[in-house]
Amino acid sequence: MCRNNDNTSIFSDFFLYKDGRGEVKIEIYIFNETVWLTQDKISQLFGVQRSAITKHLKNILESRELLEDSVSSILELTAGDGNKYQMKLYNLDAILSVGYRVNSIQATHFRIWANKVLKEYLIKGFAMNDERLKNPHKIFGEDYFEEQLARICDIRSSERCFYQKITDIYSQCSADYGVGSNMTKIFFATVQNKLHWAIFGQTAAEIIVSHANAEKPNMGLNIWKNVPNRIIRKPGYC
């Protein structure tokens, strides 16, 4: 990666999508935490003439699918001859929109890949680039792995909210509800085990035993009773 100015960088081997032969990579510009390409690069990416890209961009902007001010920018960049030139570039929003309009073999492969990712998101509720998360290069100036962990922790906290609702229902519906009563303890132990089994395929006791390890500090314990906000002791573990 080399600098063109204080705000723009070039990344020479960026993965954009997969075709029948593997990953399609291209040289991109990084600016304002997104991908930027010239019309020539977009035509190269999708295997069509530049005139086709110009036509599709014109239609996209005229239909107001995208606004020109938000998807295009004129940047001063260093060319191969070492001189600086002002070039018009289009960001990832425009590139994706063009990819859904272009009629070419490469664009077809792009749409197949994009639809697969979208389908995975709609069905599973998530879509991940495993390799990018395993090897973050901070191309956009951020390590999104940490953001992903934070979101997963937030999702898991909703499980506790669900369990809290069960306890509320029990206390409201039971005429002789007592926090310390034997019946209450048996009820919650049973419900807790059922929830653990539904999520992990193990009861609470089995989960504890499976994580116990005499070779680790504190027998492998990761969380402590009465810790404020249920802080996890092992960094990155949720």
Range of the domain at 67: 2-125
Read off the pLDDT band of 157 (50, 70, 90).
low
119 and 36 in a common domain = yes
Among 96-105, 131-140, 216-225, top mean pLDDT goes to 96-105
Q: Residues 72, 113: one domain?
A: yes
Q: Are residues 93 and 166 in the same domain?
A: no
Distance CA 65, CA 61 (A): 6
Q: C-alpha angle 127/143/211, rounded to 5°?
A: 70
Cα 83 from chain centre = 37
The answer as to whether 134 is a domain residue is no
- Res 94 pLDDT > 90: yes
For 18-70, how does the pLDDT look when each residue is reduced to its tens digit (9 = 90+)?
A: 666 666 677 788 887 788 999 999 999 999 999 999 999 999 999 999 999 99
Note whether 16 and 102 are same-domain residues: yes
Both 6 and 97 in a single domain?
yes
Q: Report yes or no on 57 lying in a domain.
A: yes
How many Cβ atoms sit within 10 Å of the Cβ of residue 35?
A: 22
Taking residues 155-179, what's their average pLDDT? Answer: 69
Round to whole Å and give the CA distance between 100 and 5: 32
Are residues 186 and 217 located together in one domain of the fold? yes
**37 and 85 in one domain?**
yes
For the segment 211-231, the average pLDDT, to the nearest whole number, is: 70
Provide the pLDDT for residue 9.
Answer: 63
In this prediction the pTM is 0.60
Q: Is residue 130 part of a domain?
A: no
Residues 53 and 24 placed together within one structural domain of the fold: yes
Angle at 28 between CA 89 and CA 131, to 5 degrees: 140
pLDDT for the residue 131: 76
For residue 63, what pLDDT is reported? 96
**Over pLDDT 90: what percentage of the chain?**
28
- Residues 108 and 161 reside in one and the same domain: no
Question: How many domains are contained in the chain?
Answer: 2
* Residue 27 C-alpha from the chain's centroid: 22
Q: Alpha carbon 166 to chain centroid distance?
A: 31
Q: 208 or 114: which carries more pLDDT confidence? A: 114
Average pLDDT over the chain, rounded to whole? 78
Domain identity same for 116 and 6: yes
Is the pLDDT confidence value at 11 over 50? Answer: yes
CA atoms within 13 A of residue 132's CA, in its CB half-sphere: 18
